[in-house]
């Protein structure tokens, strides 16, 4: 069910051909996924579960960000992440607090660490036993917040899942409920759609003023939620202009 790195790379490549507005984002994301794939495979083949095993991959990531990433991310890497001690510090800080808000204020600080932690956390999740009957607002495996919702066909309707921003675990969640504050009054959790994106919608909450984007696989079965979420950045701007704050940023800090 879960999209592997090859699926993500292929989807980014496909969207690059048609989605001109998100071209730069998709190009950079594709590079990141190409970088993450061998990190994941190495962890899996070596059965490495110590987060410090990621340290040796840090220099190549900084080089990739310098070459292909957004300017402020490249600058942050050059200024603050050259020393191995600084790399380890940020990696451990983000890993130890990925469910909390302490690091949320510095997206640049978080970005590199999250690119590395994602394949690591996915590897751990692939080994773990996850209670997918959970209906919590945070990931039942790692405790992080969801980066997107996913709608999958089931029976005559669609079932809603939440996709973890760190370990990519999906867990079922109520169809009509805010994944931040739990609001269930359907008048307070409006859904917005845009003509440009038939299969991605904004699910907002008027109680806590957050939003999450939902990728509807019943409308586009080829969509890969983590990639389609990222490719529809125009919807973020739309939602944020209406006073909603994104529940959790994606890998690119958006």
Binding site for Zn ion (CB under 5 A): 139, 141-142, 144, 164, 166-167, 169, 178, 180-181, 183, 205, 207-208
Min. distance of Cβ 79 from Zn ion in angstroms?
Answer: 30
Q: 164 vs 223, which CB is nearer to Zn ion?
A: 164
What b-and-e string marks burial along 153-179, b requiring 16 or more CB atoms within 10 Å of the CB? eeeeebebbbbbbbbbbbbbbeeebbb
Q: 32 vs 142, which CB is nearer to Zn ion?
A: 142
Concatenate the DSSP letters of all residues of 164-182 into one string.
Answer: ETTT--EEE--SSS-TTT-
Question: What distances in angstroms separate CA 185 from CA 76, 135, 211, one per listed residue?
Answer: 42, 17, 15
Q: How far apart are the first and last CA of the chain?
A: 25
Q: Is 191 helix (H, G, I), strand (E, B) or coil?
A: strand
Min. distance of Cβ 193 from Zn ion in angstroms?
Answer: 19
d(CA 207, CA 84): 43
Min. distance of Cβ 242 from Zn ion in angstroms?
Answer: 15
Q: 60 vs 102, which CB is nearer to Zn ion?
A: 102
Q: 19 vs 138, which CB is nearer to Zn ion?
A: 138
Question: What distances in angstroms separate CA 231 from CA 141, 169, 191, 252, one per listed residue?
Answer: 26, 20, 19, 11
Min. distance of Cβ 204 from Zn ion in angstroms?
Answer: 8
Q: 32 vs 205, which CB is nearer to Zn ion?
A: 205
Closest CA to 9 of 30, 36, 38: 30
Q: Is 4 helix (H, G, I), strand (E, B) or coil?
A: coil
Q: What secondary structure letter does DSSP report for 145?
A: P
Min. distance of Cβ 50 from Zn ion in angstroms?
Answer: 18
Q: 81 vs 149, which CB is nearer to Zn ion?
A: 149
Min. distance of Cβ 13 from Zn ion in angstroms?
Answer: 26
Assess contact for 173 and 179: CB atoms under 8 A.
yes
Q: 70 vs 253, which CB is nearer to Zn ion?
A: 253
Min. distance of Cβ 130 from Zn ion in angstroms?
Answer: 9
* Tokens found for residue 207: 């109680």
């Amino acid at each position: 069910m879960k999209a592997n790195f090859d699926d993500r790379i292929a989807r980014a490549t496909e969207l690059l051909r048609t989605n001109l507005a998100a071209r730069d984002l998709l190009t950079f994301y594709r590079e990141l996924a190409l970088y993450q794939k061998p990190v994941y495979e190495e962890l899996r083949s070596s059965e490495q579960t110590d987060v410090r095993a990621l340290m040796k991959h840090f220099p190549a990531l900084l080089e990739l960000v310098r070459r292909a990433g957004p300017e402020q991310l490249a600058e942050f890497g050059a200024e603050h992440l050259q020393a191995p001690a600084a790399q380890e510090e940020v990696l451990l800080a983000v890993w130890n607090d990925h469910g909390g808000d302490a690091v949320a204020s510095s997206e640049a600080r978080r970005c590199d660490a999250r690119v590395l932690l994602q394949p690591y956390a996915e590897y751990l999740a692939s080994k773990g036993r996850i209670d997918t009957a959970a209906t919590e607002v945070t990931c039942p495996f790692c405790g992080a917040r969801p980066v997107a919702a996913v709608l999958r066909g089931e029976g005559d309707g669609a079932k809603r899942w939440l996709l973890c921003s760190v370990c990519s675990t999906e867990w079922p969640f109520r169809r009509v409920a805010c994944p931040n504050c739990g609001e269930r009054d359907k008048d307070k959790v409006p859904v917005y759609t845009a003509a440009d994106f038939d299969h991605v919608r904004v699910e907002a909450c008027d109680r806590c003023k957050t939003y999450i984007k939902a990728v509807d696989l019943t409308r586009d079965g080829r969509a890969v939620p983590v990639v389609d979420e990222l490719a529809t950045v125009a919807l973020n701007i739309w939602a944020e202009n209406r006073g909603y704050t994104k529940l959790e940023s994606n890998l690119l800090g958006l």
